Amino acid sequence: MKIAPPQVWRNKKFMYKLIASKCRKCGNIDFPYSPYCTKCGNSDVEKTELSGKGKLVTFTVSYQSREGFEKSLPSIIGLIRLDEGAEIIAPIVDTEIDKLKENARVEATLRRVYKDSYNGLIQYGIKFRVVEE
């Protein structure tokens, strides 16, 4: 997989921020952004940036990976309910598995997702980490 610098540049606001849609009729928040409300079907929606803070609803630990990604094992994937109400499935980083618990407070953080050995570009993405209260 090669990373194209123009493509990363064009998509940076969607790759590095949590952009959702908020319905002006019912107030529902959909993530990722959708041009219509998935709750009431209204097309009058506005883009809104989510805080990236929420709680861990549940999680799973995987000990399998694709070839070349063995160093990232085990990987933790969590279902996160953001403070605004939207739910997102995302990787959990910077925590020990035995200390992870449901309902833990989490926040979004930028982490390296992929490094292109062809041209040396690094692609970042949003992952979540547990925060102390």
Segments making up each domain of the chain, as ranges? 5-130
Q: What pLDDT shows up at residue 16?
A: 66
CATH fold, domain 5-130, is OB fold (Dihydrolipoamide Acetyltransferase, E2P) (2.40.50)
Q: Quick one: what percent of the chain has pLDDT higher than 90?
A: 59
Tell me which of 118 and 109 has the higher pLDDT: 109
Average confidence (pLDDT) over 88-101? 91
Tell me which of 124 and 54 has the higher pLDDT: 54
Q: What pLDDT shows up at residue 117?
A: 63
Q: Which of 35, 31, 55 is nearest to 44 (CA)?
A: 35
- Which backbone phi and psi does 69 adopt, to 5 degrees? -115, 20
Average confidence (pLDDT) over 41-54? 95
Average confidence (pLDDT) over 75-82? 95
> Tokens 């529902």 belong to which residue?
28
Q: What count of other Cβ atoms lies within 10 Å of the Cβ of residue 79?
A: 15
Residues in CB range of 76: below 8 A, 6 or more apart: 59, 60, 61, 62, 91, 92, 93, 95, 97, 100
Average confidence (pLDDT) over 42-53? 95
SS3 90: strand
